[in-house]
Structure 1
Amino acid sequence: MKNLSAKYGKDMLVLRRNKEENTVIKVKGCVIGQEQIVAVAGPCAVENEDMLKETAFKVRAAGALILRAGAYKPRTSPYSFQGLGETGLKILARIGQEMNMPVITEVMDSEDIALVAEYADILQVGARNMHNFSLLRKLGKINKPVVLKRGLAATIEEWLLAAEYILAGGNDKVILCERGVRTSEPWTRNTLDLSAVALVKEISHLPVLVDPSHATGRRSLVIPMAKAAIAAGADGIMVEVHPEPEKALSDGEQSLTPREFSRLMRELEEVARAVGRRLR
């Protein structure tokens, strides 16, 4: 991994050897990549305005700095809820403004970049699109932060090279997100690779988030793995929160309730202090 530049015959922009200081990304007063741990929280999908407003209010009160919710949902089944599209984007942007929270949502198609960027402060590339090189190239041309999730079975090298596509296009506002990789283990949705977090922080200057919701697929595992992520060096966490997970249109089984999210934030404060960082 340390010889990526030599392997590809190019000074890799993603590597710490070419930029010693950490990349720090600022968006609407929120800073990612410095001492403070950033919590990104919200429902899997924008279902309706009332639900999103309730969730945003409660996660903001608990200490979340960024609101997440999907307007376009890449689902395994074509019959599952696919999101509200532009209507969802408008709701998300409106609630984010009301709560004074930057918002992040996924862009699935290069043709939708301009539309999503009109409403979102941070654009997310989902795991299934990590190898969508056309999408990555075009995200390199915009002037907004991009969260790049690790692919379902991507190596660390492939993940970093996907980030390189965006950086090489001129957009240096890239945030990596470890969300688990597919293994033979059937008891969790994926296997959360926290060694990847520590390694990437060592060899790259980019900030790293961890998504324990998608990594585990189990509500009971989100809190312990979020704490482990901070101990491993993550710059923040991205978790799914829903006021009534049992009624969620997608990913309810891995969504925390607002009360559970408040508990998570209290416990994360202790972990952050133990590793010389802060949550608030």
Structure 2
Amino acid sequence: MIELKTPAEVERMHVAGRFVAEVLTEVGRLADVGVNLMDLEHHVRGMIKRRGAESCYWDYAPSFGKGPFRNVICLSVNDAVLHGLPHDYTLRDGDVLTADIAVSVDGWAADSARTVIVGTPAEADLRIVRATEEALEAAIDAARPGNRLGDISAAIGAVARAYGYPVNTEFGGHGIGRTMHEDLHVPNKGQPGRGMKLRPGLTLALEPWFARTTDRIVYDPDGWTIRSADGSRTAHSEHTVAITDGEPLVLTRRESEEPRAGLSTRDAAQ
């Protein structure tokens, strides 16, 4: 069932979203050469406890996972892109780190992800991070009443195509509200003008993620961590967004974040 939220309910989700943004800002600040992933995990656990929030990940047990997830943040490195299980790994110069977190505050959830580069960035890594950020902004811009779900998917796919990145559609965006995953799957490519008509009160987690040279994925033995099938590096950007009568409302926007303007197809190819 698709549940449209009232303005008051959207604001309660915004409370959770602001905290999620705070956590991702802190993780980006702390992610440095020599930092262990488990140190980041335990730091975030402390933030959640102090806030009185609840992790949406702890004990999460979907059909694709291997047993209940017993961490509060997904940390994926280099060719890992989704559901990265925090483990004893020390970050190295040039690593690409994706942090993804969902929490509930007073019964309302928000979900967001960002990819950062540790230490010295490679241009190819900066490029794929930039692509996911621009795809996310394009998706947000399409999240307007009267548009259709396919318009969001098509906007993401267009940016991926401009950059020359293949797109996996097994995992993508989703509805969100009282729980982390509500009805509606939002693929990261699609046809404009197709799908459900967007209405005010609809809340979605939009999350473009790309690998450089493949749309195929493989799982680690841990049963959770998803990697590009060919080992190429990856990136992932996500925000929780509410559709309103006017401009889309991004509930997880970080204070220091500047939305990326889209590049032309010619610029993206460079």
Is TM more than 0.5 here?
no
- Bigger proportion of residues as strand: 2
TM-score by length of 2: 0.30
Q: Which has the higher contact order (CA 8 A, sep 6+)?
A: 2
TM-score by length of 1: 0.29
- Bigger proportion of residues as helix: 1
